Amino acid sequence: MKKIMFVCLWLLLFNGVSANPGGGVQAKPETFRENKGAPVSAAVSLRLPLAISKRGMATARSVRITNTLTLPELDISEIASLQQTAGEKALRVGVGRALPASISQPIDLATWQWTAVSGGKVAQFTLNSAGALRVRAQVQLGKFPAGVELRFYSPTDTTHVFGPYTEANSLFWSPTLEGESLGLELFLPDGVEAAQVELAIPQLSHLVVDPANNTLKSSIFKEEYASCQQDMACASPAWQETGKSVARYVFTDTDGLSYLCSGTVLADSDPYTQIPYFFTAAHCINNQQAASSMDMFWLYANATCGGTDSSFVQTTGGAQLLMAKPALDTVLVRLNNNPPTGVTLSGWTTTPLVANQSVIGIHHALGQPKKYAMGNFDSYVRLDASDGGYMVTPDANGDFSQVVWHTGITAPGSSGSGVWVEQDGVHYLNGALLGGASECSSMGSPDEYSRFERTWPFVSTWLDAQGTPPTLHLQGGTKSISALVDGVIIARYLQGIRGDALLEGVTTQALDTTVLENQLAAVQVVMDVDEDGKTDTSKDAALLIRYLLGLRNTSLVQGMDLSTSKRNTSSAIATYLESILNATP
């Protein structure tokens, strides 16, 4: 018998879900591109700057912070709540801790120590949970007049500041912050008094695994899964590129328990947009509150095979829950903030697996830098809820597939991660990890994955959307596209030029630069002319201008380095440019 975390979800298995293979629909992977048209967000900083002492303690430069609450180290019962159960692939990483009524109920903010700053006053409050490797707080905002701002920060690294949060009547989890301390800064503008603001902090989640650096509390977790893990940096370059679609995320449930799972950001069928749709398991995320608490850790992988030179990019902001099908153990969310540039949007397929087909899984076992496992599809199975877990029955029409690994395994923290197949050199996701029994000491024990073709009817609304190609007719539909006008404007935009400088010396036509920049932001999605994952002036804009000037064949690409380009012949580039130039204005 195998166990998973959210037992109640599996009661829905008895209702069943009808099969619909989807006719072999698929989407190819894409490289996520930076939106150069998006406004650059200013770095978030505190209203009352802090200085870090030699002992690593943060203090306000103008006043000592006295608003502090410290919780002791976890007790035996709290530690026990973090224990994994057999077959569970979602990694429990944090326990919820109730806070005293003085802050779990609306706080008497008049008792806080306030400091005058430009435009108002500020108070800072520090929550400490002894022994935590990472912390986050649940916050309830009630009355929150216009201009009031809440920020979260790390008292030991004040470059990590998040916010401002301003939404009245909201309940949410803060971002996770490294260390055992979490700082809150509350700003009141002139004319607003503390008594007019309602703020409560009902819970704190004390994390014993730091997803930023893979630190484990050894007294709580055993690493029996570690000896046969395969480092993603040792895989082929093509599979490493696919691995850039996989992210770890931490989420916190209503009871304050925090979990670490894996998931995959997907491409959709619309070649003109890149929307961050994220695919994972329903036994990880199954409600909006959990989705809203998702903290993402991207590109967390070692740079060299066998090395310890990993890095990551953290994004916060949570996600919107689009679809949750517990009976299929699948979830699709739309991230509220984009992933970093360079992430891969994974391809996917609704074509069913066939006997003994080669597959590969990519995941964050134990929250570690990215791992992979290689194996074969074994059989389709049906799952039935039983005694807090599920029973597996072979069934050719079952909603889940079993995979047996011959290289590597999955482990707690791998839940929700994808399994891929390769077809004509292209990698396609085919499902997400539910759970299983694979261990280093039991390599022949299978893992269970969802079937993407069964999920397809419930996600096609988003993933199969078709958009309208942007037009390069920047001067209006009645004028021909010109190398020395439209081409130069696009080149300038890709260089980062904005405003009136886009038009200087190019045209005397009166164009609204705000409208023009919106057009250019849309055009950017088709401007990777050589398909090397980047949009730039030296190649992409230059190829467009040459084509508009009438250059063809060798003259079109002469002097261009297309060694890293997928569209690397003059014929392929000319065909592509013709297609985007003929887009209806």
- 388-436 pLDDT, tens digit each: 678 899 999 999 999 999 999 998 889 999 999 999 999 999 999 999 8
Overall residue count recorded for the chain in this entry: 585
For residue 208, the SS3 value is coil
Which of 248, 256, 326 lies closest to 294, judged by CA? 248
Distance from C-alpha of 168 to C-alpha of 485, rounded to nearest angstrom? 48
Mean pLDDT across the chain, nearest whole number?
A: 87
pLDDT at 222 over 90: no
Q: Which pLDDT tens digit goes with each residue over 326-358?
A: 999 999 999 999 999 889 999 999 999 999 999
Lowest mean pLDDT among 38-52, 367-381, 460-474, 526-540: 38-52
- For residue 552 the two structure tokens come to 């063809």
pLDDT-derived band at 20, boundaries 50, 70, 90: very low
Distance CA 454, CA 20 (A): 6
CB 339 within 8 A of CB 315: yes
pLDDT of 573 higher than 50: yes
The answer to whether the peptide bond before residue 72 is cis (omega within 30 degrees of 0) is: no
pLDDT at residue 50 greater than cutoff 80: no
User: 32: buried, middle or exposed (CB in 10 Å: 19+, 13-18, 0-12)?
Assistant: buried
The H or E element spanning position 493 is helix 488-494
| Residue predicted with more confidence, 479 or 448 | 448
Task: Give the single-character DSSP code of 539.
Answer: I
Identity at 551, one-letter amino acid code? L
Q: Binning pLDDT at 50, 70 and 90, where does residue 37 land?
A: very low
Phi, psi values for residue 116, rounded to 5°: -70, 135
Output the six-digit token pair for 78. 């709290």
Residue 19, phi then psi, degrees to nearest 5: -80, 145
Taking 3-state DSSP, the helix, strand and coil percentages for the chain, each rounded to the nearest 5, stand at 20, 35, 45
352 DSSP 8-state letter: P
- Digit-coded pLDDT (tens) for 262-280: 999 999 998 888 899 999 9
CA 313 to chain centre: 10
pLDDT digits (tens, 9 = 90+) for 186-217: 999 999 999 999 999 999 999 987 766 555 44
pLDDT of the residue at 561: 94
R_g of the chain, CA atoms, integer Å: 26
Q: Which of 282, 223, 287, 278 is nearest to 248 (CA)?
A: 278
What number is the average pLDDT over the span 319-327?
96
Q: Provide the β-strand partners of residue 108.
A: none
